[in-house]
């Protein structure tokens, strides 16, 4: 049997404004779902409003989206981030990565519940949520990426944004 002559099209994800002017992310939406008629060679729409900050303290991230009006042929990115909520968190708030690990304490593996805490820094995957069970015998990746605003490593200003460690220059 010979391979098909036309390979399957790659899935494209588009960001657009729906009729209620709420940002939605989806794939292969019909142009009729857009609120304004897009014509060729128009470039980018205006940047949308900034999202709520991913954290209320300790430094987080906020994002803004824009839409390509030129059938997806725009230069540049449709997503931008900025830092926000830089005030220190109260001590009782604890470590942000530890909070994300402990949120999985109800997760049972092979019928056993565990209390999860962050693993030591791993430069090969600084923005993955890797946690270890109490006792340290079991380490798992509970999520491919931590929440935006999580520090890449303890004591650094670098933070994870959309699963990528964004290095921040020392002031």
Cα distances from 141 to residues 35, 58, 114, 116, in angstroms, run 40, 24, 14, 11
The better pLDDT of the pair 22, 170 is held by 170
Note the pLDDT of residue 53. 94
- Please state the domain extents for the chain: 12-89, 94-166
Pick from 14-28, 63-77, 106-120, 129-143: least confident: 14-28
Asked if residue 63 lies in contact with residue 51, where contact means CB atoms within 8 angstroms, the answer is: yes
Q: How confident is the model at residue 12 (pLDDT cuts 50, 70, 90)?
A: very low
pLDDT, tens digit (0-9, with 9 covering 90-100), for 98-145? 999 999 998 888 888 899 999 999 999 999 999 999 876 789 999 999
CATH of domain 12-89: 2.20.100.10
Which pLDDT value is given to residue 30? 34
Under a CB-based contact definition with an 8 Å cutoff, are residues 53 and 61 in contact? yes
How far, in whole angstroms, is CA 52 from its chain's centroid? 13
> Which of the 8 DSSP states describes residue 84?
E
- Higher per-residue pLDDT: 154 or 147: 147
49-55: average pLDDT: 94
């Amino acid at each position: 049997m010979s391979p098909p002559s036309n390979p399957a099209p790659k899935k494209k994800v588009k960001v657009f404004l729906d009729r209620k002017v709420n940002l939605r992310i989806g794939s292969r939406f019909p142009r009729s779902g857009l609120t304004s008629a897009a014509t060729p060679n128009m470039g980018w729409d205006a940047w949308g409003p900034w999202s709520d900050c991913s954290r209320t303290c300790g430094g987080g991230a906020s994002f803004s989206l824009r839409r390509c009006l030129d059938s997806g042929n725009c230069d540049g990115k449709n997503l931008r981030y900025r830092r926000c909520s830089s005030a220190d968190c109260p001590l009782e708030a604890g470590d942000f990565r530890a909070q994300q690990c402990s949120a999985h304490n109800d997760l049972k593996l092979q019928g056993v519940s565990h209390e999860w805490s962050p693993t030591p820094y791993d430069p090969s995957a600084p923005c993955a949520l890797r946690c270890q069970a109490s006792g340290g015998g079991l380490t798992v990746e509970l999520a491919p990426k931590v929440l935006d605003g999580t520090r890449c490593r303890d004591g650094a200003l670098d933070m994870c944004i959309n699963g990528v460690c964004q290095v921040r220059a020392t002031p």
